[in-house]
Amino acid sequence: MNSDKNNALLKADHDLFKQPPIPKIKKVRKQKVLEEDIYLEEMGKIIQRDFFPDLEKLKAQNDYLDALNRNDTIKLQQIHAKYTQGSRTICSERYSSPATFETPNDNRTGEDETFRQSNTDAVKKEEPSNDTKSNMSLDGYLGSHTSEDNQSFEEIIAESAKCHRQKYPWLYKEESLDKNEDLLALPSADNALHPKQIDTWSYKDKNYIMYVPDGVDLTPEEKVEMAKRKQEIVHSNTRLKVNPFDENENKERIQDMAHSQAKSLDGKIGVDGKELVTETPKVNGFSFVNTPSPAPGVNESPLMTWGEIEGTPFRLDGGDTPLRTSAGLSYFVPEPPKRERLALKLADKVGERHRDQKKKAIE
């Protein structure tokens, strides 16, 4: 009987003395802060590797075409050495004519080896360094790294929220008092003996009527299920594996359009007052023979189709756009001058020095 009384007293005490809830600890995920240029450069490498793997080939084609336009033989040889493994480097130097009738000997082996070695060194310099970010996904990189601008923006937002709480303390006073009352071990004597207030929900500054309500916390089973399901991007699904344009079907459509256009012109008059005909006049059922042209179809308007350049979209460079024939000025974006580049470099150094001093002062 005594044990039952003790258990009853313990239960009553447990009901009387409420255990305060354990406050939730918000986990702050640490991110590595990088400079803006490095952050964007690494992100661009990951995006190019996962979503645009053919971009390197297009860049090589553009470099090759630019070198051809500039007649840059050194650049052409470097590109040839980079994309032809184990082949002999093409040399633009001509062989000198022999002065005698003896069998000529090739004495330029050392020069070719030296040039090939220099090309190999240049290719090695162009290859990107393999670091820890080479196998990292885009989501993983964005989750573990951030830029200096993003970090500064988060600090500004946190400081703004802190100043808002200091400027308007009455907005958050009632909520803090309500929480403190919930954490009390014993209720007040008035509330314990004669509770006159209606049991309502806990007070919140941002109530669910005027603001968007928060989501319900996940149950342990839902957390386990969410941990099992991992978001994954299948990069092969972001590219076309088969050419969506059927060339044979396009040719048939063009021929049908040409025939239908020719039929629609029968008996019609053009803007010049002449009859629109597709054939030469006939005499006794026979047509005139056209004069042979060295370049047939030059003056004719070509049919407009969905054109393709080697099956892949191709970027037009500045040299591909023809200049205006009039006397007016042509618009183009000039390269930044050397003085401006030097000023930007010095500004970056000064900013980095100030950031280091700020970090040391905070630490």
Look at the block and give the residue holding tokens 């089973």.
221
* Highest mean pLDDT out of 3-7, 32-36, 207-211, 269-273: 32-36
With the CA atoms of 331, 333, 336 and 340 taken in that order, what torsion angle do they form, in degrees rounded to the nearest 10?
A: 70
The rounded distance, in Å, linking the Cα atoms of 34 and 41 is: 11
The rounded distance, in Å, linking the Cα atoms of 247 and 271 is: 35
Q: What is the pLDDT of residue 123?
A: 43
The reported pTM is 0.43
Mean pLDDT across 220-234: 84
Binning pLDDT at 50, 70 and 90, where does residue 184 land? Answer: low
Element (H, E) at 119: helix 109-126
Mean pLDDT across 174-203: 61
Mean pLDDT across 173-197: 60
Q: What is the pLDDT of residue 198?
A: 66
Q: Which residues contact 77 (CB under 8 A, 6 or more apart)?
A: 89, 90, 91, 92, 115, 119
Q: What is the pLDDT of residue 299?
A: 63
14/198: higher pLDDT: 198
Residue 258 has pLDDT above 90, yes or no: no
Cβ proximity of 245 and 308 under 8 Å: yes
Cβ proximity of 83 and 268 under 8 Å: no
Q: How many domains does the chain have?
A: 1
The rounded distance, in Å, linking the Cα atoms of 358 and 352 is: 10
Binning pLDDT at 50, 70 and 90, where does residue 40 land? Answer: very high
Q: Is residue 294 part of a domain?
A: no
Q: Is residue 103 part of a domain?
A: no
* Highest mean pLDDT out of 60-74, 123-137, 234-248, 270-284: 60-74
Query: What is the residue range of 186's domain?
Result: 23-91+111-126+135-190+199-239
Binning pLDDT at 50, 70 and 90, where does residue 294 land? Answer: confident
Q: Which residues contact 216 (CB under 8 A, 6 or more apart)?
A: none
Q: Is residue 208 part of a domain?
A: yes
Q: Is residue 102 part of a domain?
A: no
With the CA atoms of 44, 47, 48 and 52 taken in that order, what torsion angle do they form, in degrees rounded to the nearest 10?
A: -150
Binning pLDDT at 50, 70 and 90, where does residue 242 land? Answer: confident
Residue 125 has pLDDT above 80, yes or no: no
In b/e form, how buried is each residue of 121-157, taking b as 16+ CB within 10 angstroms?
A: eeeeeeeeeeeeeeebeeeebeeebbbbebeeeeeee
Beta bridge partners of 275: 269
Q: Is residue 14 part of a domain?
A: no
Q: Is residue 204 part of a domain?
A: yes
Residue 34 has pLDDT above 60, yes or no: yes
Q: Is residue 7 part of a domain?
A: no
Q: Tokens standing for 297?
A: 């179809």
Q: Report the half-sphere exposure of 18 (CA within 13 A, side-chain side).
A: 11
Residue 314 has pLDDT above 70, yes or no: no
97/235: higher pLDDT: 235
Q: Is residue 338 part of a domain?
A: no
- Lowest mean per-residue pLDDT among 118-127, 186-195, 227-236: 118-127
Measure CA of the first residue to CA of the last residue in the chain; give whole Å. Answer: 63
Mean pLDDT across 84-96: 49
Beta strands at 275-276 and 268-269: parallel, antiparallel or unpaired: antiparallel
The rounded distance, in Å, linking the Cα atoms of 177 and 179 is: 5
